[in-house]
Structure 1
């Protein structure tokens, strides 16, 4: 059980990079970007093919990020310049990327067994987990720092109120394109690292990744809160780890099989979405009952005073 939890934490940290990307579009830009399912596989495909062709794993990983940035830019351009609905733009790019990923791979999947990856020098010394933790912390800090810059503030303002930020002379089209590109660059980086960690890349490895990313963000916000940007990005990272631990524990129960992972993900997301609403509703009912009781008590007291 201990090894399963450690494995879940390691996976959660790698998927946390994708969760940070989803946080940018889902929370900051308020943009329903389904490109994630395609760009995750794009990152894995580019990194895997380049590594098997003898390129450095680090250069291959950087190329994977560039592929994700380009995919995100295409989605942003479809939405802003092509005037296509945001949701539809993501769907169109996701469909296009499925074929593009097959072309990149040249076959349904590519194995990395026997090839050097970014994790190879650290696998024997047992510091892989520490390396992943440091990498995620650095990415989180860089993202927090970016969101505090003028461009980052414009990005946040675009998601909050695009009309208002346009009235101040800001180009919301540009900020949207940059935000979606950055999001998919992080998603592709996560895909590249997952492919190297698992030693294979598959054309369909990105299916359902948007749901996993949303689950991480929503669970993290529900448990840890999201009052500030620092807290929100931390919640996305921790939410990804919690999600993976919950999945690892659930799959060890007799009720679930390995093939039930997608169903389990959907159930977790539904619970994470419904639970805050139920809690809010219960609080409102409790508050309404308390107010009614106070009002009745006040009216009763007033009636007694009138009789006197």
Structure 2
């Protein structure tokens, strides 16, 4: 059981990077971006191709993040310059990235077995593979949270947050909302691609289909984090996203241990997201029922 939890925590920390990327578009920009299903594979494809070709894993991971930022830029331009609706612009980018990812890898998948990865220096410290990934993941998310907390407190970061909250108001202040949307999409998909590169090196392969359903996993992690750990302030929200991603992976690990078929995971994830999204509605029904019961009792 300890090994199962270690594996879930290590993978959860890596998926937390992707979760934060999804949060930026879904919550901050109020933008339903499906590009992430392609950009996470793009990050994995670029990293795996370069590492298998002898590149330094850190340089390969950095270029993987840049590739995701380019994908986000493409989506942003489709939406802002060509006036394509947000959902459709993400779908178009996702479809295009499938072919691009195949071009990058040259085949459906690439193995990274017996190659040095970004985790190798930590493994060489004698930590073991899972503990090495956990240590690297913790360092990564702490740095990421610190940078994003600082960035979204700057004038540009506040403009991005205001674009999602009230675009008409921020536009009246002289801010170009097209630019803030593009920047938000670039940052989001850069983080998603970074997560793809880290996950590919963790599982020792990149596959062209690894991004299917990733948006649902990201949303599940976001919602679980918000519901269980709260959103009192922006820093608390960022920490909640990491804890939500870890919690989601732990839940998945436990249900698999109890005998759920791996083929049912996507159904389980979809149900989890549906229930979590419906919680405010059910909570409202419950509060209304309680008030009605109290009023009837008081009238009697």
Scaled by the length of structure 1, what TM-score is found?
A: 0.93
Summarize the alignment of residues 213-292 of structure 1 with structure 2, pairs less than 5 Å apart: 213-254=218-259, 256-292=260-296
**Separation in 1 of the partners of 2:205 and 2:135?**
22
- Which residue in 2 is equivalent to 1:158? 163
- Which residue in 1 is equivalent to 2:145? 140
Q: Give the secondary-structure state (helix, strand or coil) at the position aligned to 2:242.
A: helix
**Separation in 1 of the partners of 2:38 and 2:234?**
27
**Separation in 2 of the partners of 1:15 and 1:96?**
23
**Separation in 2 of the partners of 1:279 and 1:247?**
25
Q: Give the secondary-structure state (helix, strand or coil) at the position aligned to 2:275.
A: helix
Question: CA deviation digits over 1:209-256, x for unaligned, max 9?
Answer: 0000000000111111113111111111110000000000001113x1
Q: Give the secondary-structure state (helix, strand or coil) at the position aligned to 1:275.
A: helix
Question: CA deviation digits over 1:272-304, x for unaligned, max 9?
Answer: 22233212320222123324444x26xxxxxxx
Q: Give the secondary-structure state (helix, strand or coil) at the position aligned to 2:27.
A: helix
- Which residue in 2 is equivalent to 1:182? 187
Gaps of 5+ in 1: 298-308
Aligned counterpart in structure 2 of residue 191 of structure 1, from 192, 196, 207 = 196
**Separation in 2 of the partners of 1:288 and 1:73?**
51
Q: Give the secondary-structure state (helix, strand or coil) at the position aligned to 1:114.
A: coil
Larger Rg: 1
Question: Contact conserved, 1:222 with 1:276, CA < 8 A, in 2?
Answer: no
- Which residue in 2 is equivalent to 1:173? 178
**Separation in 2 of the partners of 1:56 and 1:276?**
47
Q: Give the secondary-structure state (helix, strand or coil) at the position aligned to 2:206.
A: strand
Q: Give the secondary-structure state (helix, strand or coil) at the position aligned to 2:107.
A: coil
Scaled by the length of structure 2, what TM-score is found?
A: 0.96
- Which residue in 2 is equivalent to 1:212? 217
**Separation in 2 of the partners of 1:227 and 1:221?**
10
Summarize the alignment of residues 118-133 of structure 1 with structure 2, pairs less than 5 Å apart: 118-124=118-124, 125-126=126-127, 127-128=131-132, 129-133=134-138
Q: Give the secondary-structure state (helix, strand or coil) at the position aligned to 1:201.
A: strand
